[in-house]
């Protein structure tokens, strides 16, 4: 790796800043790494660490307000910073490829997929139209697409997310580039699809010997596919070295913290057993949620009902003080269930909370709604941007008559803030003055303000950074234990759910396919889909921290 | 305010508006002559030391008439816009909140109205009701209602699906609270911006109606009317048409640029730094 002659991509002592209205902001300081032929460097960092800035700098696609400091970016020994715009355009796509996070935005929706691959081949390899389409088909076949000729003629909206990402990868490999930058290529995909794309990446990388820069926030994933790892924090590389060494024996405090924050199924956050002999709190019987109402026009025209079933005949029960984890890929119906229980979706079937039973959304009264509180995925959207934290937290107190009078409400808001480990001064702040993790703490405090018996957590950690994720999960488990509330924890992160749930429910395309105590995750009688999910999730290597 | 200072075109708009505001507030005080006073001996003069912008066909001082006319013209623009925005927002919010067939019915009706150009629409109303400032204002307000309703409804629809609104619904809040405290405060941004820009349209529409003799009536002083009255003398003294024309342009441009700047400033995406 240190042999400069053999390295394909070299970034040496590179610094970058952005001009903003409030003066320059340093994005990268003295970044230094190199990737040799046939090697994969995993670049790991949290959001805002500068990992995407590195990708832009290498591709010479920096925004107008970027100010480059010292340092060099070398591709096979040639300094890319010295290239003219024309030369850079010639290098991009031919000698450096790029795969972005979201294939649905990186492909042009108005062009056939085949056209988008052929374009690169015609532009950079000088093929004729006919040759380019034939070559494109061969490239698609190599990425494991079953019927490449058919895929060539499809438009992006006619392909699945995984298929689209395969097309993007085929395009990146089209001109046999020396180096490919992968910017979070599987983050936007489902667990199972992501796993397939990762396997594809490993295979193609080995076949072609391309030097790959793999940017990701997911340490467990990087530990599995990268040869070398560089950890970036606030624009500087904190630590770099072979993957096994970084994960096995990290030297820096930050790396250790990051690795410790990765959820590991074997490191439980709660007692393994739900309270013994606890009564049933929540029960679902044949709960079904349908989406889509017919518009007036289609009803008048007598058009057939076009309804989508979000969740079908769901039945399970949860005991007092139990944490039930619900997992599944996007569209599996896991959020649908949570929203139905929260009274946000119409449902049919029977819903029981304590000794009260309901057969529809309309029957859910305020007493029920107080007892069942929901926390949403994205704290940016779940807090009203025009209300201060005090107003946000005092609303449930007033609504349910928990606290009356200014002094008592203020005292209670202070207590709630301290419960979620936030200082009391935060009561005067607006949501945009808080970080993502702080906002999510406020959202959790709002749910617990109602003194609920059931808390529905809908992907509450997925929009947060790894280290923040861990602290939010710990906070939730702690609050849950203290208040004795029952908790439904919905997530796509299997490692996390195995850390904190007592029982796990698996959903697939609107059906509940599996339900088992967390200890039985590896039992042989698991549903095949559960097996697939568990196998698809990378578990961090090494045993550090 | 600090954001405005960083916005060059917004600053230009604000400056133009400040000039117009001075005329509205202090016009009659600083005007050198009585706007209605005839001076038959000094008809249709060009600019001079005594009459900076010249005189019209009756020898009235044009500068004084513009300063006096600012109030009527700007008040017309603000009043008509305010009425149109209020009515449109009310209808739009109602449609957005009600949803289902009420929404469809209201919006299809408004689509039909939107198909008629603003000027044609106002002309129609003024023709039916008769001319005069009050009717012209009403006409402009009615013409603005469908467009404003559309914008208000779109804002409500985009806010209504946000999670903080769902959180309030899940808590079991009353619909009045959900709409009043959670939805409405977050929809006002686009409405205010659109309203600011529409003031300039209203001023121009008012001036147009004045010019056609359907708005303000002589002998009152209004910029559009000034242009209409002086039309036949345009070639003998261009100043009596150009001066009020420029005044209208300045006011309209001021509101327009200011509205654009306001949109940039209020848009959270533009504020990310």
Q: How far apart are CA B206 and CA B77, in angstroms?
A: 7
Residues A343, B169: C-beta atoms closer than 8 Å: yes
Per-chain mean pLDDT for chain A: 87
Does the beta-carbon distance from B167 to A385 stay under 8 Å? no
| Judgement on whether residues A286 and A165 belong to the same structural domain of the protein | no
Q: Count how many domains chain A has.
A: 2
Domain ranges of chain B: 9-33+53-267
Tell which residue, A226, A347, A211, has the closest CA to residue A284: A347
The average pLDDT across B153-176 equals 88
Last residue within a domain, chosen from A148, A174, A200 = A174
Q: What is the pLDDT of residue A323?
A: 92
CA distances, B126 to each of A53, A253, A422, B111 (Å):
60, 77, 61, 21
A42 falls in which pLDDT band (50, 70, 90)?
very high
Give the pLDDT score at B127: 85
Cα separation, A188 vs A492, in Å, equals 12
Q: Does A386 touch chain B (CB under 8 A)?
A: yes
Residue A273 scores a pLDDT above 70? no
**A323-337, A495-509, B6-20, B161-175: which range is least confident on average?**
B6-20
Mean pLDDT, to the nearest integer, of A161-166?
89
Q: Do A22 and B167 touch (CB under 8 A)?
A: no
Kindly state whether A344 is in contact with chain B, defined as any CB-CB distance less than 8 angstroms: yes
Cβ(A184)–Cβ(A23) below 8 Å: no
Q: Is residue A5 part of a domain?
A: no
Q: Domain check: are A364 and A497 in the same one?
A: yes
**What is the dihedral sign for C-alpha B78, B80, B83, B88?**
negative
User: A206, A170, A464, A160: which is closest to A329 by C-alpha?
Assistant: A160
How confident is the model at residue A276, as a pLDDT? 65
* B180 at interface of A, judged by CB pairs closer than 8 A: no
> Which has more confidence, A523 or B43?
A523
Min CA distance, B94 vs chain A (Å)? Answer: 18
pLDDT band at A6 (very low <50, low <70, confident <90, very high): confident
Report percent pLDDT > 90 for chain A: 41
Provide, rounded to the nearest whole percent, the portion of chain A with pLDDT above 70: 94
**A294 pLDDT exceeds 60?**
no
**Domain boundary at A147, A174, A201, which?**
A174
| A42 occurs within a structural domain | no
Q: Residue-wise over A153-166: b if at least 16 C-beta within 10 A, else e?
A: ebebeebebbbbbb
- Which of B101, B167, B186 faces A385 most closely, judged by CB atoms? B186
| Contact criterion met (CB below 8 Å) for A181 and A173 | no
**A5 confidence band (pLDDT: 50, 70, 90):** very low
The tens digit of pLDDT for each residue in A462-511 reads: 888 888 888 899 999 999 988 989 999 999 888 889 888 999 999 998 89
- Does a structural domain hold residue A417? no
Name the helix (H) or strand (E) containing B21.
helix B8-30
Q: How close does chain A come to B99, measured CA to CA in Å? A: 10
Residue A498 and residue A367 share a domain: yes
pLDDT at A43: 93
**Does A384 contact B164 at a Cβ distance shorter than 8 Å?**
yes
Please give the residue of chain B at the shortest CA–CA distance from A21.
Answer: B273
Q: Is the pLDDT of residue B271 over 60?
A: no
Q: Alpha-carbon distance A284 to A353, whole Å?
A: 9
Alpha-carbon distances, residue B154 vs A500, B82, B159 (angstroms): 41, 19, 9
Best mutation target, B2, B172, B188, B266, to test chain A (most A CBs within 10 A): B172
pLDDT average, residue stretch A507-532 = 89
Which of A174, A197, A222 is the last residue in one of the domains?
Answer: A174
In the CATH scheme, what architecture does the domain B9-33+53-267 have? Orthogonal Bundle (1.10)
* pLDDT value of residue A1: 43
Residue A544, pLDDT above cutoff 60: no
For the segment B97-113, what is each residue's pLDDT rounded down to a tens digit?
887 788 888 888 888 88
Q: Is residue A160 part of a domain?
A: yes
Interval B218-262: pLDDT, tens = 777 788 788 878 778 778 778 878 888 888 888 888 888 888 887
Looking at the structure, tell me whether residues A373 and A504 fall in a common domain: yes
Residue A160 pLDDT > 70 = yes
B158 Cβ under 8 Å from any chain A Cβ: no
- A46-83 pLDDT tens trace: 888 888 889 989 988 888 888 898 889 999 988 999 88
* B250, burial (CB in 10 Å: exposed 0-12, middle 13-18, buried 19+): middle
CB A454 within 8 A of CB A353: yes
Mean pLDDT score, B28-42: 75
**Domain range enclosing A303:** 280-382+453-536
In-domain check, residue A335: yes
The stretch B195-208 carries a mean pLDDT of: 83
Say which CATH number the domain at A292 has. Answer: 3.40.50.300
A317 lies in some domain: yes
């Amino acid at each position: 790796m240190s042999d400069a002659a053999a390295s394909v991509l070299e970034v040496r002592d590179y610094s970058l800043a952005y001009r903003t209205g409030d003066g320059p902001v340093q994005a990268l300081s003295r970044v230094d790494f190199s990737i040799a032929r046939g090697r994969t460097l995993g670049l790991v960092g949290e959001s805002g660490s500068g990992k995407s800035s590195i990708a832009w700098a290498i591709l010479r696609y920096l925004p107008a307000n970027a100010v480059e400091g010292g340092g060099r970016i070398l591709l096979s020994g040639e300094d890319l910073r010295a290239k003219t715009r024309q030369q850079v355009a010639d290098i991009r796509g031919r000698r450096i490829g790029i795969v972005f996070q979201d294939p649905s935005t990186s492909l042009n929706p108005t062009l056939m997929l085949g056209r988008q691959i052929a374009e690169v081949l015609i532009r950079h390899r000088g093929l004729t139209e006919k040759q380019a389409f034939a070559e494109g088909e061969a490239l698609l076949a190599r990425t494991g697409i079953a019927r490449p000729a058919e895929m060539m003629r499809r438009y992006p909206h006619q392909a699945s997310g995984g298929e689209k990402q395969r097309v993007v990868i085929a395009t990146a490999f089209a001109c046999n580039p020396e180096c490919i930058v992968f910017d979070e290529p599987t983050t936007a995909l489902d667990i199972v699809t992501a796993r397939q794309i990762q396997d594809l990446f490993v295979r193609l990388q080995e076949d072609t010997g391309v030097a790959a820069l793999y940017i990701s926030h997911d340490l467990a994933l990087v530990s599995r596919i990268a040869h070398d790892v560089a950890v970036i924090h606030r624009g500087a590389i904190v630590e770099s070295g072979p993957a096994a060494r970084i994960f096995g024996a990290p030297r820096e405090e930050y790396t250790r913290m990051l690795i410790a924050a990765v959820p590991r199924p074997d490191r439980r956050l709660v007692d393994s057993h739900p309270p013994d002999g606890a009564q049933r709190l929540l029960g679902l019987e044949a709960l079904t949620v349908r989406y889509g109402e017919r518009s007036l026009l289609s009803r008048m025209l007598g058009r057939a009902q076009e309804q989508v079933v979000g969740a079908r005949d769901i039945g399970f029960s949860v005991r007092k003080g139990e944490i039930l984890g619900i997992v599944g890929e996007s569209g599996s119906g896991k959020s649908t269930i949570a929203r139905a229980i929260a009274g946000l979706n119409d449902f049919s079937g029977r819903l029981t909370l304590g000794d009260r039973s309901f057969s529809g959304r309309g029957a859910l009264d305020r007493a029920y709604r107080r007892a069942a509180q929901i926390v949403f995925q994205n704290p940016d959207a779940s807090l009203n941007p025009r209300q201060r934290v005090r107003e946000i937290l005092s609303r449930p107190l007033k609504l349910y008559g928990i606290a009356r009078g200014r002094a008592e409400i203020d005292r209670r808001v202070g207590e709630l803030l301290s419960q979620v480990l936030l200082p009391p001064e935060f009561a005067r702040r607006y949501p945009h003055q808080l970080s993502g993790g702080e906002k999510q703490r406020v959202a959790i405090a709002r749910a617990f303000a109602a003194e609920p018996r059931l808390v529905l957590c809908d992907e509450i950690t997925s929009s947060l950074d790894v280290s923040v994720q861990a602290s939010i999960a710990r906070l939730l488990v702690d609050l849950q234990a203290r208040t004795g509330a029952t908790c439904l924890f919905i997530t796509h992160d299997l490692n996390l759910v195995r850390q904190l749930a007592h029982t796990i429910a698996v959903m697939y395309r609107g059906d509940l396919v599996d339900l088992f105590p967390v200890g039985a995750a590896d039992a042989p009688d698991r549903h095949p889909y559960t097996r697939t999910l568990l196998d698809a999730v990378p578990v961090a290597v090494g045993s550090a921290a | 305010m600090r954001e405005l200072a960083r916005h060059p075109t917004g600053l230009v708009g604000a400056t133009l508006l400040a000039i117009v505001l001075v005329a509205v507030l202090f016009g009659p005080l600083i005007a050198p002559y009585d706007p209605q006073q005839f001076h038959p001996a000094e008809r249709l003069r060009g600019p001079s030391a005594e009459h900076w912008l010249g005189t019209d066909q009756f020898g009235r001082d044009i500068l004084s008439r513009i300063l006096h006319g600012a109030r009527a013209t700007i008040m017309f623009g603000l009043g008509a816009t305010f009425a149109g925005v209020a009515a449109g927002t009310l209808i739009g919010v109602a449609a957005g909140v009600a949803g289902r067939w009420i929404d469809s019915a209201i919006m299809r009706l408004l689509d039909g109205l939107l198909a008629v150009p603003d000027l044609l629409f106002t002309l129609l109303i003024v023709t039916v009701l008769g001319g005069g400032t009050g009717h012209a204002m009403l006409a402009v307000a009615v013409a603005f209602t469908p467009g404003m309703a559309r914008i208000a409804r779109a804002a409500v629809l985009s806010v209504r699906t946000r999670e903080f609104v769902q959180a309030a619904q899940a808590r079991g809040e009353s619909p009045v609270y959900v709409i009043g405290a959670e939805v409405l405060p977050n929809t006002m941004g686009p409405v205010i911006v659109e309203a600011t820009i529409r003031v300039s349209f209203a001023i121009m529409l008012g001036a147009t109606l004045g010019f056609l003799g359907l708005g303000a009536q002589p002998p009152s002083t209004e910029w559009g009317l000034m242009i209409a009255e002086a039309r036949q003398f345009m070639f003998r003294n261009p100043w009596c048409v150009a001066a009020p024309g420029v005044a209208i342009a300045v006011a309209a441009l001021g509101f327009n640029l200011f509205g654009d700047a306001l949109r940039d400033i209020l848009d959270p995406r533009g504020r990310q730094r």
